[in-house]
Structure 1
Amino acid sequence: MKIIITSDGEWMNSKFCPHFEECKYIILYDTKTKEYSSMKSPAYQTKDKNKLISFLKAIFMKNIITGKDIDDKYFKIYIPQKKEATIEEVLIEFLESLNI
């Protein structure tokens, strides 16, 4: 499974960003290979939620860890309990909730 996580930085020890359209980076994590990559969010400059939604649909990403529901039934959204956490911490929380 591939997961998108909203982030303030480009590393696993970066701070999780609970604001979907305001995140500076998005992290892509692959649960199969346990590898990740990051990129600057296409919506960071404009804060345009629809721009980020369109981008994620175009690359066929459905699983997102972010701080709020984005009101689009295409996605499976996970909202972490702990908002003041690192990317690694929210990812572990998500995987534990799935028993992976």
Structure 2
Amino acid sequence: MKIVITSNGEFIGSKFCPHFEECKYLIVYDTKTKLYGARKSPSFNTKNILTLTKFLKQIYIKNIITGKKINDKFFKVFIPTKKDISVEEAIIEFLENYNF
């Protein structure tokens, strides 16, 4: 399964960004291969939530780790208990709480 994590940087060790449409980067993590990639968020400059949700739907991402709920029933959103963590720590918490 692939998940997207909102981030302030391009790496798995980067700081997690709890602001969905305001994040600078999206980290795409594959839970099977444990590989990840990063890209600049399409909504970073505009802060337009619809731009970001449309993009994620186009690349078939349903699972998102971010800091707030998203009012779109297409997505499964996981909100970490702590906000001042790394992307890797957010992924670990998600994996510990996700029912595969």
| Equivalent residues in 2 for 1:37-56, closer than 5 Å | 37-56=37-56
Give the corresponding residue for 1:17: 17
* Deviation sequence 1:56-87 (CA, Å, 0-9, x none): 00111000000000100000000000100000
TM normalised by structure 2 equals: 0.97
Identity over aligned residues, as a percent? Answer: 62
Give the corresponding residue for 1:33: 33
| Residues in 2 aligned to 1:99 and 1:50: alpha-carbon distance in whole angstroms | 28
Give the corresponding residue for 2:85: 85
Q: For residue 34 of structure 2, what is the amino acid of its counterpart?
A: K
* Greater helix fraction, Structure 1 or Structure 2: 1
Give the corresponding residue for 1:62: 62
* Deviation sequence 1:33-74 (CA, Å, 0-9, x none): 000000000000100000000000011100000000010000
**Cα distance, 1:17 vs. partner?**
0.3
* Number of residues of Structure 1 aligned to a counterpart in Structure 2: 100
| Residues in 2 aligned to 1:98 and 1:71: alpha-carbon distance in whole angstroms | 20
| CA-based RMSD | 1.0
Provide the secondary structure at the position in 2 that maps to 1:20.
coil
Q: For residue 92 of structure 1, what is the amino acid of its counterpart?
A: I
| Residues in 2 aligned to 1:82 and 1:91: alpha-carbon distance in whole angstroms | 12
Q: Where do 4+ consecutive residues of structure 1 move more than 6 Å? A: none
Point out where structure 2 has 5 or more consecutive residues left out of the alignment.
none
Point out where structure 1 has 5 or more consecutive residues left out of the alignment.
none
Provide the secondary structure at the position in 2 that maps to 1:53.
helix
